[in-house]
Amino acid sequence: MLHIVLVEPEIPQNCGNIARTCAATGSHLHLIEPLGFDISERAVRRAGLDYWHLVDVSVYENLDALFRLHPEAADNLYLTTTKAPRPYSEAVFTDGCWLFFGKETAGLPQDFREAYAARCVRLPMVSEARSLNLSNTVAVCAYEALRQMGFPGLLDHGEMAR
């Protein structure tokens, strides 16, 4: 299983898109507070997120709380940041991998990036671009990780397959 961790996400549409990616891939979505939006049942229903029931979502007060409950995450993680020295394509993703993504306006906390500097990766882009949209970044990294793992549980054939 792949674990997607959003640290203090701010934009509800990004979280909705990422939740849909998690639903489609069977990935677990972990949210680190504070959240910039409401994910109560009422709010999710009002937003029309008809796939939310397919997403395994966990919410944590902070990063320390996540690592207390999931110490194994520290042994198999990657942090995405525009400041990373190497591209995501050089990472070796394995089953049970944890992918961390920072909030839209500031990214991941500096002390967290420094603690796991060897595990920081980025998506290549032109120097003039500040960053990619968070939900796009999650999708690219998630599908690369799943590709490396052989797309576990995802190789159903499309209706055009013969």
Cis peptide before 12 (omega within 30 of 0): no
Beta strands in 47-154 (DSSP E): 56-60, 77-80, 98-101, 120-121
β-strands 56-60, 77-80: how paired? Answer: unpaired
Q: Would you say 16 is a known binding-site residue?
A: no
Q: Would you say 89 is a known binding-site residue?
A: no
The 8-class DSSP code of residue 103 comes to B
- For residue 100, CA distances in Å to 80, 89, 106, 107, 127 come to 6, 16, 14, 10, 23
Q: What φ, ψ does residue 77 adopt, rounded to 5°?
A: -135, 160
Residue with tokens 């055009």, as numbered in its chain: 160
62-66, 127-131, 143-147, range with the lowest pLDDT: 127-131
15-19, 45-49, 92-96, range with the lowest pLDDT: 45-49
List, in sequence order, every residue forming a beta bridge with 1; answer none if it has no partner: none
Q: From CA 90, how far away is CA 107, in angstroms rounded?
A: 21
* Predicted pLDDT at 74: 97
In percent, the amount of the chain with pLDDT more than 70 equals 98
Q: Would you say 131 is a known binding-site residue?
A: yes
CB 134 within 8 A of CB 11: yes
Q: What single-letter amino acid sits at 122?
A: R
**Which of 20, 13, 3, 6 is closest to 55 using CA atoms?**
20
Mean model confidence pLDDT for the chain: 92
CB 29 within 8 A of CB 142: no
pTM for the structure as a whole: 0.93
pLDDT band at 162; cut points 50, 70, 90: low
